[in-house]
């Protein structure tokens, strides 16, 4: 078991190195930030550019820059933004909770919708509620999410003046972005709940509970659901990682002060340290979630340990 | 209700058929549109008519769905645009499935170092947030149709590789493979003639859903200004163009939006149906 | 009215939720597309820096929305020693936001810093390289010694790197602290700054020109145009500053009874420049034909909703060097066709136009241009690039298509800033052309101190570039502000340097 754990952690380490290396390298191919910073500054001489590059540490060879980044990473220092020298750790520390909060709320929204729908679909398998639920959830999955987001803003912020169109200020501002993200997850989750429930409903203990004369709702929501909770939570956990990556477009539409907005602006400004920082932190999160799920599975099911 | 099999129920069959019928209907009409588009609209929906810009739907006979800010026929553009979306969706999924199957087969069959290497590549791929990768990638190599397809292939072969590898691991110790090996059948034949047919079901399901997903991703990227040439009618591009006119000329972005929605829905319905037909064990369920 | 009440309620609600300050009627909220990250004047050349910082800092000179140069922190100036020295008389009794006095030392400190080590790390220093030294004559008199003449120096002293900074404060707290906690002499002082989200300014009651009428200005950074406009419509933002509002949303704002569009000619001009070195556009006749094939006025009227002016050279009417007599080449597809024929161009010849991918308005313009060119027999493909790739790799390296988009504009409104950088041999923005005669004129005008002569030469240069057909001059766009009608006394600034001390809010 210890060997399996070590192996897994070693793998995660390898992935982190590879991810940061790829990202640091790729962004340096996208253009010179010294040129960006001096754009419109009139006649820029090569000397001016060299000065700016030196101030940004870009005159170092790539590997040296990368090693500096890794060293900083070990002590939680992600460097300084090229745009005004703000600490990237600080920027990320402010944006991460916003993104996590949105991802979490989206997941909750989706779970809250999918559990009753999934159960209903399972119990009415093949009959019309099942059909309607599945087709509707597929409709949700088929929306281009940014388009849905814009439509929601138009309806709820501009026509009805109910909800703020952008920003993160209080409960109200979570509703639209979380709903947009949540709807997309719902199709998958309804299916998941439905399948898991179908398996459980045939199990012995459900029959017993029914035989005892417990009400159908108690049987479904208390006994059966509890029994499905482990696989469901695992899936939801894995989804959370995926959500973090997919949230960029939605954050942009809603001007959400999260990692996506931060990264998007960083690419536009060639702000290497910020983009590097954001992707590294996001990847670390995704890797840790996967690692935890893997290890948990490994503990439960020895066959998985082969990797 | 007590049947264990997922497809043993009459009503269930009926439902599955409904899903199939809806999906086939949607995709069928879109395929027809693609087939006849160049015959219906020989100018390719690129004819600019500034005098007729932003004409509302159902007001001019020539423009049943209205015109866009440049006075182009929205009906023509929506129909012609299906071609780009389907091209991107299908080519990128086929590319990804080809790479994924080869990597998955090799990785699962041979195991060892190759396997570890491929799987770590896969991990790296999965840990990189797609849109951010896309933005960076396109900043480096530029936008356009081909680059977008390459990008989608790079970011999506992994799921196929994982799926195929998993199936190969489950199959390779089975009797028929072992006996094929014993009588000296070449590896390449074992891989493609014996293993592949046995795991193709879930792959087909995944491809269908993947095409749907890639159409959405294409529209997202084009929406973010990173996609195809704006002169080529594409749904994502039309959505992006229409966005600023949403409150004064809703038709500019609503019709392409609906087109994406219906196409993707058609693919998702078919994919869902295929999944229950070809992959009842649910390997592709997440 | 009802809308306003809803707005106040929701603001109150959100303010309570955050536990922050309740919104007063005299708080103005502005949407700005980008956070410059540092408020230090030597660090930036972003117009979005200046739209905020114009309220925090003052320069020796001041240039308002009317573009006239008037006294700022200097009350008077005179040129000495045939223009190689400028003497400034400084305003007395001015204090920085922290109480530090403004005097000759502060001016010297500011420019020593700008032209010294700190300045070299930013993009601003090179704009002020004409200044060789600043000498303190007495507490309220300074002399600027010039290394070379700079005809636009006095204008440059009104903005960006020349903003006067407090010596004691910076010495005491260091540059890094100053980046985020700037102190100036301007009408507003920085109260709260959340990087990438918002910056709040409070009125500086002791400002030398009198206390501003607003008590607070809140800037929110919103990069997505449609989102900024939605916020304006929801009444949560009072002013959306350029370059945010897309042409397509003008009607959306105009249709709303409580909002207005305020537009003013900006320094920004758009052109499609030619590859004059190779391909079919190396032929002057082809270039001329391409211009004549495109109906630029129709583009302005339809695609740009009239919010632009046609131009004959690569500058707008406000630019120093603009010649009202110089007319654009006419729209004449027939002559275009015969010119193409003369040049031996076959119908169906391919042509590539490179554009910025995220510029949706120009995307439409480019498509219309493509269709005009189609009509004279040229097959155009449009290639969108990510803006920075186009600007940093494709253009300077000379890897563009036959034509490429160039969007340009300097806040100094001087044609030198365009012409020299676009046409002088070896400049970054001039990857293809080399014309010794043009080079000579461009160099010559820089050393002229007689402004009338210089203007004449610049006008001649403009005419010369038209004769050589170096680009398709398309149009000079307006700066578009979306403004809530409760904002009073608002004057749109052409250069985005929006000073808000006279603005107030109607009850």
Distance, CA of C252 to CA of B246 (rounded, Å): 9
Of A16, A139, A244, the CB nearest to B265: A139
Percent of chain B with pLDDT over 70: 90
Distance, CA of C201 to CA of B61 (rounded, Å): 56
Residues 104-143 of C with CB under 8 A from A: 120-127
Mind telling me how many Å the CA of B254 is from chain C's nearest CA?
A: 15
Between chains, do A255 and C222 touch, taking CB under 8 Å as contact? yes
Residue B255 has pLDDT above 80, yes or no: yes
The average pLDDT across B224-240 equals 78
Instruction: Return the closest-CA partner of residue C482 out of C196, C306, C247.
Output: C247
Between chains, do C227 and A38 touch, taking CB under 8 Å as contact? no
Instruction: Return the closest-CA partner of residue C95 out of C187, C230, C226, C229.
Output: C187
Mind telling me how many Å the CA of A8 is from chain B's nearest CA?
A: 11
Mean pLDDT of chain A: 83
Token output for A18: 């590879």
By three-state DSSP, how is residue C462 classified?
A: helix
By three-state DSSP, how is residue C135 classified?
A: strand
* B135 Cβ under 8 Å from any chain A Cβ: yes
Contacts of A265 in chain C (CB under 8 A): 34, 196, 223
Of residues C49 and B137, which shows the higher confidence score? C49
- How high is the pLDDT of residue B34? 84
Of B70, B224, B243, the CB nearest to C368: B70
Q: Decide if B249 is inside a domain.
A: yes
Residues 6 or more apart from B186 whose CB is under 8 A from it?
Answer: none
Q: Decide if B149 is inside a domain.
A: yes
Token output for C493: 């600034």
Between chains, do B46 and C386 touch, taking CB under 8 Å as contact? no
Q: What is the pLDDT of residues C353-388, one digit of tens each?
A: 999 877 878 988 999 999 999 999 999 988 888 777
Between chains, do C38 and A153 touch, taking CB under 8 Å as contact? no
Lowest mean pLDDT among A253-262, B10-19, C56-65, C439-448: B10-19
Residue C3 has pLDDT above 50, yes or no: no
The CATH number of residue B116's host domain is 1.10.3720.10
Residue C289 has pLDDT above 90, yes or no: yes
CB-CB contact of C448 with C457 (8 Å): yes
DSSP codes of every residue in A193-240: HHHHHHHHHTSHHHHHHHHTT--HHIIIIIIIHHHHHHHHHHHHHHHH
Contacts of C393 in chain A (CB under 8 A): 31
Between chains, do C363 and B241 touch, taking CB under 8 Å as contact? yes
Residue B222 has pLDDT above 70, yes or no: yes
Of A42, A83, A157, the CB nearest to C230: A157
Residue A213 has pLDDT above 60, yes or no: yes
- How high is the pLDDT of residue A1? 67
Pick among B137, B224, B231 to test the C interface (most C CBs inside 10 A): B231
Lowest mean pLDDT among A126-130, A243-247, B158-162: A243-247
Q: What is the pLDDT of residues C41-100, one digit of tens each?
A: 998 778 889 999 999 999 999 999 999 999 999 999 999 988 889 999 999 999 999 999
The average pLDDT across A222-232 equals 76
Nearest chain C residue to A157 by CA distance is C234
Residue A124 has pLDDT above 90, yes or no: no
Contacts of A46 in chain C (CB under 8 A): none
Beta pairing, strands C349-356 & C403-408? parallel
CB-CB contact of A64 with A304 (8 Å): no
The average pLDDT across C4-21 equals 41
Where residue B281 falls among pLDDT bands split at 50, 70, 90?
A: low
Q: What's C215's DSSP letter?
A: S
Distance, CA of B5 to CA of C465 (rounded, Å): 79
Mind telling me how many Å the CA of A221 is from chain B's nearest CA?
A: 19
Mind telling me how many Å the CA of B198 is from chain A's nearest CA?
A: 22
Residues 6 or more apart from A272 whose CB is under 8 A from it?
Answer: A24, A27, A28, A33, A82, A266
Pick among A144, A197, A242 to test the B interface (most B CBs inside 10 A): A144
CB-CB contact of B242 with B256 (8 Å): yes
Where residue B278 falls among pLDDT bands split at 50, 70, 90?
A: confident
Lowest mean pLDDT among A155-169, A196-210, C350-364: A196-210
Chain C neighbours (≥3 Cβ pairs under 8 A) are A, B
Instruction: Return the closest-CA partner of residue C61 out of C70, C50, C52.
Output: C70
Instruction: Return the closest-CA partner of residue C320 out of C453, C425, C424.
Output: C453
**C456 burial type by CB count under 10 A (0-12 exposed, 13-18 middle, 19+ buried):** middle
Beta pairing, strands C61-63 & C69-71? antiparallel
Which residue in the block uniquely carries the two structure tokens 């599975």? Answer: A297
Contacts of B286 in chain A (CB under 8 A): 188, 192, 235, 238-239
Please count the other Cβ atoms lying within 10 Å of the Cβ belonging to residue A214: 15
Q: Decide if B3 is inside a domain.
A: no
Nearest chain A residue to C221 by CA distance is A255
Pick among A92, A118, A138, A271 to test the B interface (most B CBs inside 10 A): A138
Instruction: Return the closest-CA partner of residue C318 out of C70, C127, C63.
Output: C63
Element (H, E) at A131: helix A128-142
Between chains, do A26 and B261 touch, taking CB under 8 Å as contact? no
Which residue in the block uniquely carries the two structure tokens 């529209």? Answer: B219
| Interface residues on B facing C, Cβ-Cβ cutoff 8 A | 46-48, 50, 53, 69-70, 138-139, 142-144, 224-226, 229-231, 240-241, 243-248
Q: Decide if B128 is inside a domain.
A: yes
CB-CB contact of C345 with C286 (8 Å): yes
Residue C20 has pLDDT above 80, yes or no: no
Using alpha carbons, list the distances in angstroms from residue B159 to A235, B118, B164, B165: 16, 12, 9, 10
Between chains, do C364 and B241 touch, taking CB under 8 Å as contact? yes
Contacts of A29 in chain B (CB under 8 A): 140
Residues 6 or more apart from A74 whose CB is under 8 A from it?
Answer: none
Q: What is the pLDDT of residues C331-343, one digit of tens each?
A: 999 999 999 999 9
- Domains, chain A, ordered by start: 31-77 (no CATH), 96-306 (1.10.3720.10)
Instruction: Return the closest-CA partner of residue C29 out of C189, C194, C195, C198.
Output: C198
Of B10, B136, B272, the CB nearest to A27: B136
Token output for C456: 């004449």
Where residue A303 falls among pLDDT bands split at 50, 70, 90?
A: low
| Interface residues on C facing B, Cβ-Cβ cutoff 8 A | 225-226, 246-249, 251-252, 255, 298, 302-303, 357-358, 360, 363-364, 366-368, 370-371, 380-386, 388-389
**Is this model's pTM higher than 0.80 or not?**
yes
CA angle A214, A216, A219 (to 5 degrees): 65
> Rounded to an integer, what is the distance from CA C180 to the centroid of its chain?
23
Residue C19 has pLDDT above 50, yes or no: no
CB-CB contact of A176 with A254 (8 Å): yes
Contacts of B212 in chain A (CB under 8 A): 142
Q: Decide if B63 is inside a domain.
A: no
Q: What is the pLDDT of residues C140-198, one digit of tens each?
A: 999 999 998 888 899 999 988 999 999 999 999 999 899 999 999 999 999 999 999 99
Q: What's C22's DSSP letter?
A: P
Using alpha carbons, list the distances in angstroms from residue B95 to A228, B91, B150, B285: 37, 6, 8, 22
CB-CB contact of B20 with B269 (8 Å): yes
Q: How many domains does chain B have?
A: 1
Using alpha carbons, list the distances in angstroms from residue A225 to A195, A230, A255, C193: 12, 10, 37, 48
Bin A31: left if φ > 0, else alpha if -120 < ψ < 50, else beta: left
Token output for A114: 């999918």
Q: How many CB pairs under 8 A join B and C?
A: 76
The average pLDDT across B34-61 equals 86
Contacts of A195 in chain B (CB under 8 A): 282, 285
Beta pairing, strands C504-505 & C308-310? unpaired
Between chains, do B244 and C302 touch, taking CB under 8 Å as contact? no
Distance, CA of A291 to CA of A9 (rounded, Å): 8
Distance, CA of A299 to CA of C496 (rounded, Å): 62
Instruction: Return the closest-CA partner of residue A243 out of A290, A193, A182, A189.
Output: A182
- How high is the pLDDT of residue A300? 62
Between chains, do C36 and A83 touch, taking CB under 8 Å as contact? yes
What is the domain range of residue B95?
Answer: 12-40+69-278
Chain B neighbours (≥3 Cβ pairs under 8 A) are A, C
Of C35, C387, C410, the CB nearest to A40: C410
- How high is the pLDDT of residue C477? 92
Of B129, B136, B257, the CB nearest to A26: B136
Residue C298 has pLDDT above 50, yes or no: yes
CA angle A43, A44, A49 (to 5 degrees): 175
Mean pLDDT of chain B: 83
Distance, CA of C60 to CA of C107 (rounded, Å): 9
Q: What's B60's DSSP letter?
A: B
By three-state DSSP, how is residue C70 classified?
A: strand
Which residue in the block uniquely carries the two structure tokens 């200004």? Answer: B225
Mind telling me how many Å the CA of C179 is from chain A's nearest CA?
A: 7
Of C302, C358, C381, the CB nearest to B53: C302
Token output for C30: 């502005």
Contacts of B260 in chain A (CB under 8 A): 142, 144, 147
Find residue C219's DSSP bridge partners: C30, C199
CB-CB contact of C245 with C261 (8 Å): yes
Distance, CA of C290 to CA of B24 (rounded, Å): 48
- How high is the pLDDT of residue A39? 60
Between chains, do A86 and C194 touch, taking CB under 8 Å as contact? no
Phi and psi at residue A141, to the nearest 5°: -70, -25
- How high is the pLDDT of residue C5? 41
Q: Decide if B138 is inside a domain.
A: yes
Q: Decide if B7 is inside a domain.
A: no
Of A44, A54, A83, the CB nearest to C37: A83
- How high is the pLDDT of residue B10? 53
Q: Decide if B27 is inside a domain.
A: yes
Of residues C28 and B123, which shows the higher confidence score? C28
Q: What is the pLDDT of residues A125-147, one digit of tens each?
A: 878 888 888 888 889 889 888 88
* B200 Cβ under 8 Å from any chain A Cβ: no
- How high is the pLDDT of residue A301? 58
CB-CB contact of A256 with A98 (8 Å): yes
Mind telling me how many Å the CA of A173 is from chain B's nearest CA?
A: 22
Please count the other Cβ atoms lying within 10 Å of the Cβ belonging to residue C375: 14
């Amino acid at each position: 078991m210890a060997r399996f754990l070590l192996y897994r952690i070693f793998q995660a380490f390898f992935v982190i190195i590879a991810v940061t290396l790829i990202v640091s390298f790729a962004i340096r191919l996208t253009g010179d930030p010294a040129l960006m910073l001096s754009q419109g500054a009139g006649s820029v001489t090569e000397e001016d550019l060299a000065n700016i590059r030196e101030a940004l540490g870009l005159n170092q060879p790539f590997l040296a820059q990368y090693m500096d980044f890794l060293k900083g990473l070990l002590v939680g220092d992600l460097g300084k933004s090229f745009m005004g020298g703000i600490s990237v750790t600080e920027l990320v520390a402010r944006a991460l909770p916003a993104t996590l909060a949105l991802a979490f709320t989206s997941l909750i929204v989706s779970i809250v919708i999918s559990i009753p729908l999934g159960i209903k679909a399972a119990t009415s398998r093949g009959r019309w509620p099942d059909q309607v639920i599945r087709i509707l959830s597929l409709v949700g999955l088929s929306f281009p999410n940014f388009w849905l987001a814009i439509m929601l803003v138009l309806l709820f912020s501009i026509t009805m003046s109910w909800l703020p169109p952008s920003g993160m200020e209080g409960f109200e501002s979570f509703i639209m972005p979380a709903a947009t993200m949540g709807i997309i997850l719902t199709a998958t989750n309804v299916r998941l709940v439905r399948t898991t429930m179908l398996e459980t409903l045939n199990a012995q203990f459900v029959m017993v509970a029914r035989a005892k004369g417990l009400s159908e709702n108690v049987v479904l929501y208390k006994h059966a659901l509890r029994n499905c909770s482990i696989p469901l939570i695992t899936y939801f956990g894995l989804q959370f990682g995926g959500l973090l990556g997919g949230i960029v477009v939605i954050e942009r539409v809603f001007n959400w002060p999260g990692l996506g907005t931060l990264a998007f602006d960083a690419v536009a400004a060639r702000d290497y340290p910020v983009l590097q920082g954001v992707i590294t932190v996001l990847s670390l999160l995704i890797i840790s979630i996967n690692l935890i799920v893997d290890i948990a599975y490994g503990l439960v099911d020895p066959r998985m340990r082969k990797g | 209700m007590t049947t264990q099999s997922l497809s043993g129920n009459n009503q269930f069959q009926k439902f599955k058929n409904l899903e199939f019928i809806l999906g086939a209907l949607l995709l069928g009409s879109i395929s027809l549109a693609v087939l006849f588009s160049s015959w219906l609209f020989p100018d390719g929906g690129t004819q600019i008519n500034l005098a007729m810009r932003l004409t509302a739907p159902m007001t001019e006979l020539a423009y049943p769905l209205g015109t866009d800010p440049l006075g182009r026929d929205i009906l023509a553009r929506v129909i012609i645009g299906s071609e780009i979306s389907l091209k991107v969706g299908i080519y990128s999924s086929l590319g990804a499935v080809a790479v994924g199957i080869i990597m998955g087969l090799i990785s699962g069959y041979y195991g060892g170092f190759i396997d570890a290497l491929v799987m770590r590549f896969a991990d790296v791929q999965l840990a990189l947030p797609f849109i951010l990768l896309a933005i960076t990638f396109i900043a480096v190599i530029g936008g356009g149709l081909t680059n977008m397809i390459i990008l989608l292939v790079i970011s999506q072969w992994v799921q196929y590789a994982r799926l195929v590898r998993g199936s190969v691991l489950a199959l390779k110790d089975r009797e028929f493979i072992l006996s094929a090996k014993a009588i000296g059948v070449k590896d390449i034949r074992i891989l493609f003639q014996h293993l592949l047919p046995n795991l193709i079901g879930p792959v087909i399901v995944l491809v269908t859903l993947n095409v749907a997903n890639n159409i959405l991703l294409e529209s997202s990227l084009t929406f973010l200004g990173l996609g195809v040439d704006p002169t080529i009618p594409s749904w994502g591009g039309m959505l992006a163009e229409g966005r600023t006119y949403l409150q004064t000329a809703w038709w500019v972005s609503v019709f392409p939006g609906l087109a994406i929605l219906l196409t993707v829905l058609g693919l998702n319905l078919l994919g869902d149906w295929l999944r229950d037909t070809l992959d009842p064990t649910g390997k592709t369920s997440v | 009215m009802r809308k306003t009440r809803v707005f106040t309620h929701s603001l109150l609600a959100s303010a309570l939720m955050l536990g922050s300050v309740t919104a007063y009627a005299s708080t103005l909220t502005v949407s700005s597309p980008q956070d410059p990250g540092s408020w230090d004047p030597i660090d930036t050349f972003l117009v979005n820096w200046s739209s905020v910082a114009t309220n925090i800092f003052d320069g020796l000179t001041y240039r308002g929305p009317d573009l006239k140069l008037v006294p700022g922190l200097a009350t008077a100036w005179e040129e000495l020693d045939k223009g190689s020295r400028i003497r400034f008389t400084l305003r007395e009794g001015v204090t920085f936001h922290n109480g530090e006095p403004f005097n000759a030392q502060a001016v010297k400190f500011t420019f020593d810093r700008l032209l010294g080590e700190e300045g070299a790390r930013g993009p601003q220093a090179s704009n002020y390289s004409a200044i060789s030294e600043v000498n303190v004559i007495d507490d309220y008199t300074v002399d600027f010694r010039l290394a070379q003449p700079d005809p636009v120096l006095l204008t440059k002293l009104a903005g960006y790197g020349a903003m006067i900074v407090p010596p004691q404060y910076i010495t005491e707290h260091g540059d890094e602290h100053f980046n985020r906690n700037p102190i100036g002499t301007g009408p507003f002082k920085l109260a709260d700054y959340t990087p990438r989200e918002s910056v709040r300014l409070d009125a500086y009651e002791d400002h030398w020109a009198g206390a501003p009428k607003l008590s607070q200005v809140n800037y929110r950074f919103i990069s997505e145009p449609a989102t900024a406009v939605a916020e304006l419509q929801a009444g949560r933002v009072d002013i959306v500053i350029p370059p945010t509002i897309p042409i397509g949303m003008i009607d959306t704002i105009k249709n709303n009874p409580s909002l207005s569009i305020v537009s003013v000619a900006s320094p920004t001009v758009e052109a499609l420049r030619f590859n004059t070195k190779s391909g079919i556009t190396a032929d002057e006749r082809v270039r001329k034909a391409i211009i004549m094939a495109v109906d630029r006025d129709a583009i302005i009227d339809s695609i740009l909703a009239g919010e632009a002016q046609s131009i004959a050279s690569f500058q707008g009417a406000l630019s120093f060097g603009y010649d009202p007599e110089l007319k654009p080449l006419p729209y004449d597809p027939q002559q275009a066709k015969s010119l193409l024929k003369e040049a031996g161009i076959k119908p169906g010849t391919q042509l590539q136009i490179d554009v910025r991918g995220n510029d949706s308005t120009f995307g439409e313009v480019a498509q219309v241009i493509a269709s005009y060119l189609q009509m004279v027999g040229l097959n155009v493909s449009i290639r969108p690039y990510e803006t920075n790739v186009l600007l940093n790799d494709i253009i300077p390296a000379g890897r563009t298509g036959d034509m490429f988009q160039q969007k340009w504009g300097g806040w100094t409104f001087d044609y030198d800033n365009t012409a020299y950088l676009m046409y002088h041999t070896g400049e970054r923005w001039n990857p293809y052309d080399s014309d010794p005669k043009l080079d000579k004129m461009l160099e010559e005008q820089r050393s002229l101190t007689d402004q009338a002569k210089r203007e004449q030469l610049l006008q001649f240069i403009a005419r010369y570039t038209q004769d050589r057909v170096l680009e398709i001059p398309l149009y000079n766009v307006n700066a578009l502000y979306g403004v809530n009608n409760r904002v009073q006394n608002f004057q749109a600034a052409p250069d985005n340097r929006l000073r808000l001390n006279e603005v107030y809010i109607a009850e």
